Structure 1
Amino acid sequence: MLKIDDYAYSNRLKHVHPAEKVGFVMTFLMFTIITKNVVIAMITFSVMSLSIVFAAKIPFSQYLKLLLLPSIFLFTSIAAILVSIAPVYQVNVDTIWFFTIKSWQIYISVANINQAYQLLVTIIGSVSCLYFLILTTPLHQLIWVLRRLKLPVLFIELVGLTYRFIFVLLNKMHEIHLAQSSRLGYQNHRLWISSIAHLIVSLFLKSIQSAKELQIAIDSRGGDMKLYEVELSLSYNRYRCAGILVSIIGLFILTLNT
């Protein structure tokens, strides 16, 4: 998480107007999610990956590690779609693998494979869009965009505070883990479980304490919740805006043709 925040403030696209980056990302993301077109999803992944590695100059090894983070959730979802369970008399004729247990059959069909493949490509394309946004756009620029979209102030403040508390809790977790490790708190399986339990409880108490301290700070200012007032001096680029418009037209034509 700390590395992601560092890249957001040091990448080569940090001076690009945030509205252009959000428009660029949302164009590909919406077409990928709404159309569920495999070709568009693959184009989205390719464009976002090339932009992250070559335009923003994010190391490819770090980007690859980030792509592997959601892989556990992704493959568990894919496995649940691939494998079906049904009574023997209801099994489809397009079954390519099956295992029978009494009157039930566990099987994988062609339809399951097609659905899993479509979901896999769509998710990868969508994740690459989100990675482009968080790796190239600092928090204050995202908050500026949210304010221009006229979203509720409470929602924007919660976004900023949640992002802030992530780093507070990460720092606290590191301190507790270091103290536990120095006292051999992870020496064996039993101690590991006990140490993890104490770590979770300590983080919960720390989050409550930090929230109370923040509320006291807000009350001392008269209850004014406008914690994030952001002004940008960046300017729009007509060529990048034209590129976004061309992308919308191109994706729309591609959707109709495929």
Structure 2
Amino acid sequence: MQLVELFNYNHKLATSSVLIRTLWVLPAFIFVIFSTNSMFHLLVFLLFITSLVLIVKPSIFKLIKLLLIPGAFIFLGCITLLFSINLKVPFFKMVYLNEEMFFKVIVLFSRSYALIAIVYFWILTQSISEIASGMRAIKIPVLFVELFVLTYKFIFLLMGSFKTMLLAQKCRLAYSTTSKNAIQSYGFLFAAIFTKAMQQTSQIEIAMASRLGSNEFCFVRPRIVNKGKDVFTMLIFNGLLVFIFVIFEYNG
């Protein structure tokens, strides 16, 4: 399951500028990081997931599946914090529930999922070129922007190569015999993927060198005029967010 499967190039914010789309998520991101109220985190999560469904209109089933993927890592991290080990007691009493960490774990879990919803909204409403342009606009060093773009491109290139090679192996019944044969087939697969990655790296180096010393990716940047409706909607959204934040942080 990949984010690209949910991407919609014709979503309702597609004609808005990168600045407007960034301002949709930046205040919420800051508020969630500083907030320690789980109910506020839950409302932010619901607010952004609802906005994502209404604006991008992804498949609900795929969106739920995508939300469950980081949940496994978050859950394991919370369990690790929730339980402690005391080596000075008998074996069957070594692992015990740390009640002092209970509320901290709840805050950590709710904050993590609120941030995930914000990041998903940000990524699914902007293309890779728009994200790179936004990174340049806030003066992130060009080296980091280029590494980000290359990493993004390599993920899809290697995933495509992986699926093609795996399908070719399955057509030759590589994984339908003994476990020893399956392990050997996985070894060949990973070696082939590594070789393919090195070849693609060499090709990119040659392509970059062919630009006569210019090592920057160039993207088409159409001129977008901020519409009053988009600005007003963004301000209303952030105003609602500030209102919720004040209520839960100072009256909760």
User: Given that residues 32 and 126 in structure 1 are in contact (C-alpha distance below 8 angstroms), is that contact kept between their aligned partners in structure 2?
Assistant: yes
Number of residue pairs matched?
Answer: 247
Counterpart contact for 2:8–2:58, Cα < 8 Å = no
Please give the root-mean-square deviation of Cα atoms over the aligned residues, in Å. 2.2
Spell out, residue by residue over 1:153-185, the C-alpha distance to the aligned partner (whole angstroms, 9 max, x if none): 121111112111111111111111011101111
**Larger proportion of strand:** 1
In the superposition, relative to structure 1, how do residues 86 and 3 fare at CA in structure 2: closer, same or farther (>3 Å)?
closer
Does the alignment pair 1:158 with 2:147? yes
TM-score by length of 1: 0.86
Native 8 Å contact 1:27 1:244 kept in 2: no
Which residue of the other structure, out of 95, 98, 106, is the alignment partner of 1:117? 106
2:203 corresponds to 1:210 = no
Aligned to 2:251: 257
- CA distance, structure 2, for counterparts of residue 122 and residue 110 of structure 1: 19
Mapped pair 1:200 → 2:193: no
DSSP 3-state at the match of 2:130: helix
Which secondary structure state, in structure 1, belongs to the residue aligned with residue 85 of structure 2?
strand
Measure the CA separation in 2 of the matches of 1:56 and 1:223. Answer: 39
Secondary structure in 2 aligned to 1:217?
helix
Could you say what secondary structure the match of 1:70 adopts? Answer: helix
Shift of 1:68: 1.0
Counterpart of 1:101 (choices 77, 83, 91) is: 91
Counterpart residue number, 1:92? none
State the percentage of identical aligned residues: 26
d(CA) in 1 for partners of 2:202 and 2:54? 44
**Cα separation, partners in 2 of 1:183 and 1:70, compared to 1, 3 Å:** same
Runs of 4+ in 1 over 6 A off after TM superposition: none
Quickly say closer, same or farther: Cα 1:34–1:194, change in 2 above 3 A. Answer: farther
2:31 maps to amino acid: F
Q: Name the SS for the 2:222 alignment partner.
A: coil
How far did residue 214 of structure 1 move? 0.8
Task: Call closer, same or farther: CA 1:6–1:118 in 2, change over 3 Å.
Answer: closer
How far the C-alpha of 1:230 sits from its partner, in A, is: 3.9
Q: Normalising to structure 2: TM-score of the pair?
A: 0.88
Q: Any idea what the Cα deviations from partners look like across 1:172-202, whole Å, max 9, x if unmatched? A: 1111101110111111422222222222221
Cα offset, 1:248, TM superposition: 5.7
User: Aligned runs of 1:35-46 on 2, under 5 Å?
Assistant: 35-46=35-46
Structure 2 equivalent of residue 23 of structure 1 = 23
1:246 aligns with 2:239: yes
Secondary structure of 1:225's aligned partner: coil
CA distance, structure 1, for counterparts of residue 36 and residue 180 of structure 2: 47
